[in-house]
Chains A and B, each alone.
Chain A
């Protein structure tokens, strides 16, 4: 390589507009000019030593190099952050226990603390699940998994990668204090492609194809559960049903501009038949349609998008709730200088809540108040604007500063949440770099578990704020291993946190108290070699502590869901002949004991929970396995038979302990959550 430079000149259309396969490819936001000197191979040496030609100068043994210029196209990811963690689609497939779902795969990353094994809800650096935002292609998703814990609602075939932003998120993300999990869609297909899975309990597929001479792409997919039919064989009175859909259409107006529509939605339904009457236990659905105009040039990247959505939910003994959403967002990122990118953007989301409010005379006061809080008509708005600048001071040296602010309104209340952020990546020595992040993240009151169309009215208690700090190092190791280790300290203020007392969790509380300050600190280590390699491996370790308090009426204590150690090690191997296997071992510390005595027990003989105080419940160990046999056809097509199991040893989480006089101590368990999966997957 004789020179390397970042080109600013626009790339001629003919150079990149048509792919070798005839389809159209998106123009990159930036490009790198790489000048390469190709050296022709030396002629074969004769058997016998031959004297050099007389014309050859002494010391010059090779012929003159032939210079050429190769342009490597690649976009600098505008949403990258030095402290983010990414998992690509090829890796996701190999992570045992993730069942190919990118959003479920993030639990291998450090900083992600499971509540209990098998539940796809996590604490991230001490922040509860209600403080973590999930996005797909910048659209917030009400819930990612059917029934909150089942299969994902987004087809894996659509997702290119999923990123975890635990702190100082990219400017376009906000309104969550605990972290952002963002999925990025794949580029539209340039030829017919698709993926499908058939499992014991459901089937899903996604197919996408170009048309209009490659200028347009259309894709559709979904998942359908036949658990209702299966259950009817064993439990005739119970119905569990879920399904989802994903679709997108994209059209390239020219080499720079593309319009697209992305639609997705899901439906969950559970009921129980009592005395011949079907009682709805839970029913929920959501729909999103995102219309976008994207413009990419060599030096800029812009998007204007309009989103509409509909959420509906019905809970047992409660009412039908509905939320209609309208969102508008825009951003523009431009390389104002060779070493400076600037992004500005804004977004507005209007949510029109409503529902079937009962007569205030026909139900009890508490029931009516609850219903009023959740189902009476109201309009909530969230508006944000940001400006962000990234300075590329040198090779792999970047500094990003962001100013973002969000305004929230609900039922006549208004709140403003400033959110400044800064990140840096500073090369220290060859393959060693320093990573740093600082940020403030505001969040409006959030429901404990995201339920479509159900939220708090009137911003009760005001905004919560997280103060995020992290720093560490990243180093590339031999054999394509990489190591990243970060220390973090996050503080949370005014967070409505349902997880402060394990013995008293009421997720339907309409006015949970604002929690006293909490803080989480610790260290994360992630050593990995891509699982998409022939032999891949990862080691993920989180050493952390989350503390609650302290205020005069809330003494400092360890958070009830704190886990000191979360350790994972796993590997994947291509065994040849189409056989792939992977395994993961997960070990984590038990929760702190939470001693609680019956205040009315004067004799002291009543059972006591989690005795003794100050210790911890036993830890947990889980083993996940995956085995795949793949038959390939055509260029990229395959059919796979997949055996996958989460928690194949059937280990149970210990979630409590009761000690009583003659009974001794007895552990209480959750699970075991075992998720075996036998399925067939295929791709075109």
Chain B
């Protein structure tokens, strides 16, 4: 009986087939960028043409990476959003691209936060950002409570900048969490390989945020003038609400969405400067 039982048991076990293994996926890979911080972005002080010594203490960027395969019949554009500590190198990419030639861009982006009735769910990939700093991206960007105009942001920040500027004993602290309209400011092309990451190198230039667009010179006086209450601290609220004129060739105040006082605002100029954040 035991032998028959064993045989029967083995036969029964043999009848129980196995779950089939995973089937191979279509060959695909990722295309994107490896960001490299400039010395200023890493926190090294630099001196502006108007005599300020500026040190970037924190620069966190929310960026969108998009990649488009050359053969769009096989796949469409892919994009992914990251939040990175710009002072460190980071790999950011768009995935699931078919093997072959592709091109990609990188630029600032922001998340829709809403006014409280919408359940915001942050699906951004966060790289090297502390929870405390990351929390600044879970609420609307600075200036959303700006009450004198019609502008009301319901988006989170694209950029968090904490910097310290000093000139002749006068210290100004910059603390901005701003939404910047996304414009692809870096572009590259390459060959996507199966299960691999094709990367282009892009530098992050924090000093671009302090560069006068018309002269190409580093400046801080215009930002320092934003400190309306003279408390030595420049906030996003002050930046958005200040109508200080500054040179900003190409700034379009209507498209910038700034509803503050008419004219070229420092906020519009600052947004324009963000285009220079990424460079080869």
Contact = CB atoms under 8 A, between A and B. Distances in A.
Interface of A: 209, 211-212, 216, 218-222, 224, 243-245, 247, 249, 265-267, 269, 280, 283-285, 287, 312-314, 319-320, 356, 358-368
A285 B95 contact: no
16 contacts: A209-B1, A209-B5, A212-B2, A221-B12, A222-B12, A224-B15, A244-B16, A267-B17, A285-B19, A319-B22, A360-B30, A361-B29, A361-B30, A361-B93, A361-B196, A364-B96
The 7 closest A-B pairs by CB, nearest first: A361-B30, A359-B195, A356-B22, A312-B19, A362-B28, A218-B5, A320-B22
A247 B19 contact: no
B21 interface: yes
B161 interface: no
Contact of A361 (B17, B22, B197): B197
Interface in B15-68: 15-23, 25, 27-30
Interface in B79-138: 80, 93, 95-96, 123, 125
B21 A356 contact: yes
B249 to A, nearest CB: 38
B67 to A, nearest CB: 11
Contacts of A280: 20, 23
A312 B18 contact: yes
B29 A362 contact: yes
Contacts of B19: 267, 269, 283-285, 312-314, 320
A388 B194 CA distance: 59
A266 B19 CA distance: 11
A211 B2 contact: yes
B95 A360 contact: yes
A361 B32 CA distance: 10
A285 B17 CA distance: 9
B261 interface: no
Given A211-B2, A245-B15, 19 more contacts: A211-B1, A212-B2, A220-B5, A247-B9, A267-B19, A269-B19, A284-B19, A285-B19, A312-B19, A320-B22, A359-B29, A359-B195, A361-B93, A361-B196, A362-B25, A363-B25, A363-B96, A364-B78, A364-B95
A361 B195 contact: yes
B20 A247 contact: no
Contacts of A313: 19
Contacts of A366: 123
Contacts of B15: 222, 224, 243, 245
State the majority secondary structure of interface residues on B: mixed
B8 interface: yes
A269 B16 CA distance: 11
Contacts of A209: 1, 5
Contacts of B8: 220
Contact of A320 (B12, B21, B29, B96): B21
Given A362-B29, A364-B95, A314 B2 contact: no
A284 to B, nearest CB: 6
A356 B25 CA distance: 11
A243 B197 contact: no
Contacts of A267: 16-17, 19
Contacts of B16: 243-245, 265-267, 285, 287
A265 B96 CA distance: 37
A249 B1 CA distance: 12
A314 B22 contact: yes
Contacts of B5: 209, 218-220, 249
Contacts of A312: 18-19
Contacts of A219: 5
B96 A362 contact: yes
A314 B19 CA distance: 7
Contacts of B9: 220, 245, 247
> Which among A212, A245, A285 has the highest number of chain B CB atoms within 10 Å?
A245
Contacts of A211: 1-2
A60 B23 CA distance: 91
A365 B29 contact: no
Contacts of A319: 22
A621 to B, nearest CB: 39
B25 to A, nearest CB: 6
Given A220-B5, A220-B9, A365 B195 contact: no
B18 A285 contact: yes
Contacts of A367: 96
Nearest to B193: A361
A361 B2 contact: no
Nearest to A278: B20
Nearest to A363: B96
A283 to B, nearest CB: 4
A623 B251 CA distance: 76
A366 B123 CA distance: 9
A283 B29 contact: no
A283 B22 CA distance: 11
Contacts of B27: 362
A321 to B, nearest CB: 9
A222 B6 CA distance: 14
Nearest to B96: A364
A365 B125 contact: yes
B12 A365 contact: no
Contacts of B197: 361
Given A267-B17, A361-B197, A363-B95, A220 B12 contact: yes
A316 B30 CA distance: 24
A314 B20 contact: yes
A157 B15 CA distance: 20
A82 B2 CA distance: 41
A183 to B, nearest CB: 20
Contacts of A216: 2
B195 to A, nearest CB: 4
Contacts of A359: 29, 195
A672 B80 CA distance: 44
